[in-house]
Structure 1
Amino acid sequence: MIVGLGCLGVVVLFVILGAIGAMAGGDSSSTSKGTTVSSDDDKGTEAEKKKDDAPAADPEPSKTPKSGRPEKTGEPEKADKPAKPKKQVVTFKVWGTAPDGVLGPLDITYGSDNDSRAGTWKNGKFTATLPLDDDALYYTVMAQLQGSGDINCSVTVDGHTEKAHASGDYNICHAQANAGLLGGWD
């Protein structure tokens, strides 16, 4: 291809190769503060070499230290990491009057769509918490009377509370909070 371009092609090729060499650091001389020192030039004195190697005095000192971070001004620095959000919990409650029946005390179950647990009724109340699982479809609490009584129950998820009530016989108090389709709890 160079043969077809003639002398102009050869000149262009040398210019391109020279530019690539200069960018790659293949240049044998370096320029510093208007003085050119060639690698094969031994005429410079030690004083000139030291002067070229010394950093220039900055007429106006920088207000930003070499670390790149601003200097401390006496004000407390903000943390680089955001504070960890408080872990959310789901709260389950049952309260009221429910005497033990033939089958024992209230029968309490609570949890989510994939985690069911048994609760214990003590002194007219029950309270439990579980960590909030963002994948849960619902959280529920159920308490069944054992022949008589009057109870209330609730489940609280992310500030939203669902309540229910049961009275007499073997009725069931059932409160359930459902995950909404667009977020939040119903």
Structure 2
Amino acid sequence: MSNQYPQQPPPGWGQQPYGQPPFPQPPKKSGAGKIIGIGCLGIIGLFVLIAIAGALVSSGSGSKKPSSSNAVRPAASPSTSPTKQAAQKTVVFKVWGTAPAGALGPLDITYGSDTDNRKGTFDNGTFEATLPLNKNAMYYTVSAQLQGSGDIDCSVTIDGKTKKGHASGGYNICDAQLSSGLLGGWG
């Protein structure tokens, strides 16, 4: 007896059995994912370019040289020198109000920057401290926690800019923080 069809090996994994149609093909994906991805990269690239341009503008503003090599610059007095003024800038931290000593003692006060943290004491209803401005600091903060009762306010001031906070009763925390600009620096 002879078969009408030639002998073939049985189907293996991933192959269709004899006489059945092939697997249906999955639908093709639209290009929307690629467009969205490219759009996101474009937005991120735009932010990067803006940041670079801002950095170049701010770094280039103080580096102007006289056009003539024979130009004579007037001597700057120490009180008006731009570098002296930047060195003289300070950060002022304040806490004030009523805060009787609780079970854990008087107010728990911490102040400083992202790289310098200090402890303060609350005397006669006030606390005030100053630190020299570090132009590389990202933020300056003051935090005062009540120890059971009281009503306090707190603030951080740099070059005329002030951020304030408030806390009342219990073990609540008064917190005030002043941050540097988007591209860093304090003005």
Look at both structures and tell me which one has the larger radius of gyration over its CA atoms. 1
More strand by share: 1
Equivalence for 1:109: 110
Change in Cα spacing, 1:100 to 1:144, as seen in structure 2 (3 Å) is same
Q: Determine helix, strand or coil for the equivalent of 1:105.
A: coil
| Residues 14-48 of structure 1, C-alpha deviations (whole Å, 9 max, x = no match) | xxxxxxxxxxxxxxxxxxxxxxxxxxxxxxxxxxx
**Greater relative contact order: 1 or 2 (C-alpha under 8 angstroms, separation 6 or more)?**
2
| Residues 64-116 of structure 1, C-alpha deviations (whole Å, 9 max, x = no match) | xxxxxxxxxxxxxx962343333100000000000000100000000000000
Q: Does 1:81 align with 2:73?
A: no
Number of aligned positions between the proteins = 109
Q: In 1, are the aligned partners of 2:136 and 2:184 still within 8 Å (CA)? A: no
Q: Which runs of 5+ in 2 are unaligned?
A: 1-72
* Backbone CA RMSD of aligned residues: 2.0
Give the letter for the 1:80 counterpart: A
Q: In 1, are the aligned partners of 2:97 and 2:153 still within 8 Å (CA)? A: yes
Kindly report which structure 2 residues correspond to 1:32-181, keeping only aligned pairs within 5 A, or say none: 80-83=75-78, 84=81, 85-86=84-85, 87-181=88-182
Percent identical residues: 66
Q: In 1, are the aligned partners of 2:136 and 2:185 still within 8 Å (CA)? A: no
TM-score, normalised with respect to structure 2: 0.55
- CA distance in structure 2 between the aligned counterparts of 1:129 and 1:161, rounded to whole angstroms: 14
Q: Which runs of 5+ in 1 are unaligned?
A: 1-77
